[in-house]
């Protein structure tokens, strides 16, 4: 009791002392001073003190754990520990298969309609020589004169003395044939699409593309870093709904460029794109169309001008047309046509054009001659169409395989009716069929009977296309009736023997 009283008294004393001090501070002369016309009360003194304390705390650095960069010794250890993967995965059996080596035979050049493989004479259905221009004397003549005049290579890119006058002539000829203002030549078929696309489609643009396009287009789209939307293969309904959705999503897309990329005759399936529908949709939704006419140039249309002539669409409705010349024109390289703006833009911003050597001049002169031949001989086109029809009718009722391509397409694409479920097994089966066809001579031991050389379509590991693999038959105008008969009869019998029970 005494103690608590003492404590209380002492406490009260302290309190009284403190309050005395505070009162003193309040009543101190400076406390009543008037600074700048504002009376300063004693409380401002306390607030000033608080401010000082706050500033002191803020100026303290926050605690960060100290950074300890790796020492040299640690980096050495990590580098020693790291084991890279091997450069290539281990070689599997199917990788060891060699491609068949063609040798020329007496009647035609090596990759012509008839050829020799391993000593066996075969009918060649694996070269895209649609109009049979391979081995044509006019082309040979122009090539020989170009070789003697210009040598083989052109030794330079187009910007620096690699432009030879035959290049300019070839570009003018192609533009005249198709009815466009100008065209531009590329030195390789595959690089045409994957250089043209990044020149136009930049980051942020929207590109709607068919899911069955070939690897060149896929690579070009990947390099262009634009937004890519796929639609179902050759399905116009899917295209329409995709366009609708994309236009809805991007209302502010005034500054964005929008493209639709399609092929005229798809290499992976043989279907033909309905161009009139596409043009109608394009005009409604304001997209630009990029058309790859590699397999239809020189084939479709009354005079071979391609898909636009086939559907009676004026060529200036399609913004950019590209094609590889390695198919109907029996040359190499590729070209791109369109309006003047389109072509001029590519001359400076298309990497495969600017950074690479130009097309060898003899191939350019071969292309010019080939176009001349096509213009003078429209009967080649009718012959090709008849051949395709004969082959297709002959192949009806084949066991286990069905025709997936269009009746007008020069590629006759056969797919398995019932797929085995895995790409590898499908490919193996088709390869067996192809091999048997080539070796039919040995199997049947019939003299003077031609075998047929076909090739199943191959897929690279980089290819994103999901369409089924199949056997591709490239029909040519140089094939005769007997060749075609041979082809479909052999195919029927071999398919029957390998694919029994699959129907």
Partner 1 sequence: GSTSSYLPPPSLSSRRPCASLSISDHRSTSLQQYLIVKMITIPYLTALTTYFSYGLLFAFGQLRDFFRNLVDWWKASNLQGYAPICLGLEDFYIRRLYLRIQDCFGRPISSPPDAWFDVVERVSNDNNKTLKRTTKVSRCLNLGSYNYLGFAAADEYCTPRVIQSLKKYFASTCSTRVEGGTTALHSELEEVVADFVGKPAALVTGMGYVTNSAILPVLIGKGGLIISDSLNHNSIVNGARGSGATIRVFQHNTPSHLERVLREHIADGQPRTHRPWKKIIVVVEGIYSMEGEICKLPEIVSICKKYKAYVYLDEAHSIGAVGKTGRGVCELLGVDTADVDIMMGTFTKSFGSCGGYIAGSKELIQYLKYTCPAHLYATSISPPAAQQIISSIKVILGEDGSSRGAQKLAQIRANSNYFRSELQKMGFEVLGDNDSPVMPIMLYNPAKIPAFSRECLKRNVISRVGDMVGIKYFPAEPKKPQLEEGRVKVE
Give me the least distance between CB of 424 and partner 1, in Å please.
Answer: 12
Q: 309 vs 315, 316, 388, 398, CA distance in Å?
A: 8, 12, 19, 33
| End-to-end Cα, the chain, rounded Å | 111
Query: What is the distance between the alpha carbons of residues 173 and 167, in angstroms, rounded to a whole number?
Result: 10
Give the residue with the Cβ less far from partner 1, 291 or 399.
291
**CB proximity list for 321: less than 8 A, separation 6 or greater:** 178, 180, 291, 293, 306, 308, 315, 336, 337, 338
Query: What is the distance between the alpha carbons of residues 230 and 295, in angstroms, rounded to a whole number?
Result: 22
Give me the least distance between CB of 360 and partner 1, in Å please.
Answer: 5
Give the residue with the Cβ less far from partner 1, 40 or 110.
110
Give me the least distance between CB of 503 and partner 1, in Å please.
Answer: 27
Give me the least distance between CB of 111 and partner 1, in Å please.
Answer: 4
Give the bridge partners for 122, in sequence order.
115, 451
Q: Are 189 and 355 in contact (CB under 8 A)?
A: no
Half-sphere exposure of 422 (CA within 13 A, CB side): 3
Give me the least distance between CB of 211 and partner 1, in Å please.
Answer: 17
Query: What is the distance between the alpha carbons of residues 44 and 31, in angstroms, rounded to a whole number?
Result: 9
Give the residue with the Cβ less far from partner 1, 45 or 347.
347
Give the residue with the Cβ less far from partner 1, 209 or 399.
209
Nearest by Cα to 100 from 77, 119, 73: 119
* Cβ atoms within 10 Å of 15's Cβ, excluding its own: 10
Give the residue with the Cβ less far from partner 1, 124 or 242.
124
Give the residue with the Cβ less far from partner 1, 173 or 258.
258
Give the residue with the Cβ less far from partner 1, 200 or 231.
200
Give me the least distance between CB of 478 and partner 1, in Å please.
Answer: 11
Give the bridge partners for 336, in sequence order.
184, 322
Query: What is the distance between the alpha carbons of residues 93 and 263, in angstroms, rounded to a whole number?
Result: 34
Give me the least distance between CB of 75 and partner 1, in Å please.
Answer: 5
């Amino acid at each position: 009791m005494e103690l608590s009283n003492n404590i209380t008294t002492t406490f009260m004393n302290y309190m009284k002392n403190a309050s005395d001090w505070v009162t003193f501070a309040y009543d101190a002369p400076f406390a009543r001073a008037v600074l700048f016309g504002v009376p300063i009360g004693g409380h401002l003194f306390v607030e000033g003190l608080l401010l000082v304390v706050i500033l002191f705390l803020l100026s303290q650095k926050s605690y960060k754990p100290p950074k300890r960069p790796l020492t040299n010794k640690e980096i050495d250890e990590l580098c020693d520990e790291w084991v890279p993967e091997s450069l290539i995965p281990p070689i599997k059996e199917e990788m060891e298969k060699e491609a068949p080596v063609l040798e020329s035979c007496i009647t035609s050049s090596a990759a012509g309609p008839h050829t020799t493989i391993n000593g066996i004479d075969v009918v060649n259905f694996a070269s895209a020589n649609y109009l049979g221009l391979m081995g044509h004397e006019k082309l040979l003549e122009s090539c020989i004169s170009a070789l003697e005049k210009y040598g083989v290579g052109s030794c330079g890119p187009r910007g620096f003395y690699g432009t030879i006058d035959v290049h300019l002539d070839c570009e003018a000829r192609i533009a005249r044939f198709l009815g466009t203002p100008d065209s531009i030549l590329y030195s390789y078929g595959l690089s045409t699409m994957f250089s043209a696309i990044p020149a136009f489609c930049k980051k942020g643009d929207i590109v709607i593309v068919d899911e069955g396009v070939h690897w060149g287009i896929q690579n070009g789209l990947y390099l262009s870093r634009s937004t890519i939307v796929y639609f179902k293969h050759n399905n116009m309904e899917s295209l329409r709904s995709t366009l609708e959705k994309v236009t809805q999503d991007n209302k502010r897309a005034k500054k964005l460029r929008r493209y639709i990329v399609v092929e005229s005759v798809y290499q992976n399936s043989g279907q033909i794109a309905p161009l009139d529908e596409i043009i109608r949709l394009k005009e409604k939704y304001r997209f630009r169309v990029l058309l790859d006419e590699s397999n239809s140039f020189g084939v479709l249309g009354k005079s071979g001008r391609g898909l636009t002539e086939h559907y009676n669409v004026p060529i200036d409705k399609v913004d950019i047309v590209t094609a590889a010349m390695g198919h109907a024109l029996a040359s190499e390289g590729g070209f791109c046509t369109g309006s003047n703006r389109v072509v001029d833009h590519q001359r400076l911003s298309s990497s495969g054009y600017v950074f690479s050597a130009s097309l060898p001049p003899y191939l350019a002169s071969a292309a010019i001659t080939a176009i001349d031949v096509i213009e003078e001989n429209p009967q080649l086109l009718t012959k090709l169409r008849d051949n395709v029809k004969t082959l297709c009718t002959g192949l009806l009722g084949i066991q286990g395989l069905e025709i997936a391509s269009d009746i007008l397409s020069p590629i006759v694409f056969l797919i398995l009716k019932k797929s085995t479920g895995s790409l590898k097994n499908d490919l193996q089966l088709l390869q067996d069929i192809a091999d048997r066809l080539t070796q039919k001579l040995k199997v049947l031991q019939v003299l003077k009977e031609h075998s047929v050389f076909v090739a199943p379509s191959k897929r690279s590991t980089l290819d994103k296309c999901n369409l089924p693999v199949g056997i591709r038959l490239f029909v040519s105008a140089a094939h005769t009736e007997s060749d075609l008969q041979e082809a479909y009869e052999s195919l029927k019998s071999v398919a029957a023997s390998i694919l029994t029970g699959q129907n």
